Amino acid sequence: MTVGASAPRVGVLALQGDVREHAAMLGALGAEVSLVRTPAQLAAVDALVLPGGESSVIDRLARQFEVREPIIARIQAGMPVLGTCAGLILLADRILDGLPTQLPFGGLDVDVRRNAFGSQVDSFETALEVPALGEEPVRATFIRAPVVERVGAGVEVLAAVDDRVVAVEQGALLGIAFHPEVSGEQRFHRRFLERVRRVSGG
């Protein structure tokens, strides 16, 4: 798809994590992608992706780069955000087992637990039923993945593994515990971009 004037402007928070994979997938789907490290770069996009990585490191760097408060303000103002793995942790209103100094950006009315499926050696792939994305199962890659342990009244559960919630949506916010950008699964990013286009009028 060719990027045109109506292409949604999507930033990928580029402080740490699998930034390149998200940027490549969004670009392939027709978005105008930019890497976000500063408040000015954040102000220039319609939406933001919070990639997988180390949630505590991303939190610390967001403070150092002075983008934490601008991100929170944009989320509260209705900016669409996709968070994968660590990004889901950052979007949660509460981290159950975060480091003492770790704070999320918030926005999703959920409680999350980090590394709920184990360490790096416990990483796995599975075929995940996600009815909102169609009948074909999603190929989901879990790498030190979190789970959602509490879901607020306004949150829609999109997917679960053995009754453990791993994908949620609330308004303009989409949080998933796994890595579709690693497995080449495009449907979550497509769903996100559809929301961005509706919000931005593109």
Q: Is 181 a known active-site residue?
A: yes
Helix (H, G, I), strand (E, B) or coil at 68: helix
- How far is the C-alpha of 156 from the C-alpha of 133, rounded, in Å? 13
Q: Is 169 a known active-site residue?
A: no
Q: Which two tokens stand for residue 159?
A: 């997917």
- Residue that the structure tokens 């994979």 belong to: 21
Q: Which member of 21, 169, 181, 185 is catalytic?
A: 181
- Contact 93/104 with Cβ under 8 angstroms? yes
Q: Which member of 21, 22, 32, 179 is catalytic?
A: 179
Q: Which member of 22, 32, 85, 185 is catalytic?
A: 85
Q: Angle between the 55-64 and 68-76 helix axes, to the nearest 10 degrees? A: 100
Q: Kindly list the distances between the CA atom of residue 25 and the CA atoms of 21, 35, 96, 156, 157, in Å, as whole numbers in the listed order.
A: 6, 13, 31, 24, 24
- Contact 106/72 with Cβ under 8 angstroms? yes
Among 97, 12, 9, 112, residue whose Cα is nearest residue 52: 12
Catalytic residue IDs: 85, 179, 181
